[in-house]
Structure formats: C-alpha cells, structure tokens
Amino acid sequence: MKYYALDSNIITYYLKKNTKIMDKIDNERQKGNKLIIPPMVYYESIRGLIYLNATTKLKLFNKLCSNGVGIINKDILDIAVSIYITLQKKGITIGDNDILIAAFCLKHNLVLITNNTKHFENINGLITENWV
C-alpha cells in the first residue's frame, strides 16, 4: 500500500475535472492506496470554495477528503523549522505553506503529489511525483 499527499494544485486539477488527475486518483484508490489531504492544503482549498460558494466543487472536494485530512502537531512544526533553517542557510526561500506541507509528508512518510516539484526539490528526503 502506498500513501500519498495531494498538493493544492492537484486538488485544483481534480476540482476542474481534469480527466488525467481524476483517473489517476480513482486508479490509486482502486489499488487500495491512500490519498491524504495535508491540513494546509485542506485550508487553502476549502476557504476558496466556501468564499466562492462553489457548492458542486465543495461536494467533490469533500468526497476527495474521505480518506482523511491530516493534523498539525509539534513534531511537524519542528520538522518545518528544520526545513526552513536548512533552506535559509542555502539562500533558498519557499512559502511557509509549502514548508508545512513538506514537513507533514516527511513526518508521515508520504509521497507528495504536486505539479510544482520545483518548490520542493531542495527539501532533503521529500519524495514528490507529478501526475500532471
């Protein structure tokens, strides 16, 4: 069994009913693999859907969240701090949400599915896949 975390951009493709992403997600679920929504991705996604009153997409998003939404704890925050410091010492800056998503994935040994692998390429130990 594989465990994946979906990044916000993959959620966006899914909600726009991109057939490649929808098929890949369905295929992974049929294989028994788990798709988890990091808490930061949940926040980013749900706030926009509610603000826009996108009820159809909100239902689709809630269905996608059926395998679970992760939680942030101190361990994840400590990993995030370590990532931040390591990147800063190299002169690399990425957004806090991306750092938290990476920390969540590292803590739980998840493969991060993203269309923005460049943002995450300098994070040691993080495995990413681009399904787009």
pLDDT tens, 85-112?
999 999 999 999 999 999 999 999 999 9
The answer on pLDDT for 7 being more than 80 is yes
Structural domains of the chain in order of their starting residue, each with its CATH number:
3-129 (3.40.50.1010)
pLDDT at position 68, please?
83
Treating both helix axes as pointing N-terminal to C-terminal, what angle do 39-51 and 55-64 enclose, rounded to 10 degrees?
Answer: 160
Span 33-53, mean pLDDT?
96
| C-alpha to C-alpha distance for 3 and 112, rounded to whole angstroms | 9
- In this model, does residue 67 exceed pLDDT 80? no
pLDDT value for 125: 97
C-alpha to C-alpha distance for 46 and 24, rounded to whole angstroms: 22
**For range 28-43, the mean pLDDT:** 96
Q: What is the pLDDT of residue 66?
A: 84
- CA angle centred on 131, ends 72 and 50, rounded to 5°: 50
| CA atoms of 123 and 88, how far apart (whole Å) | 11
Q: What is the arithmetic mean of pLDDT over 15-42?
A: 96
C-alpha pair distances (Å), 57 with each of 11, 40, 54, 69, 89: 10, 18, 5, 17, 40
| Token couple for 131 | 């399904």
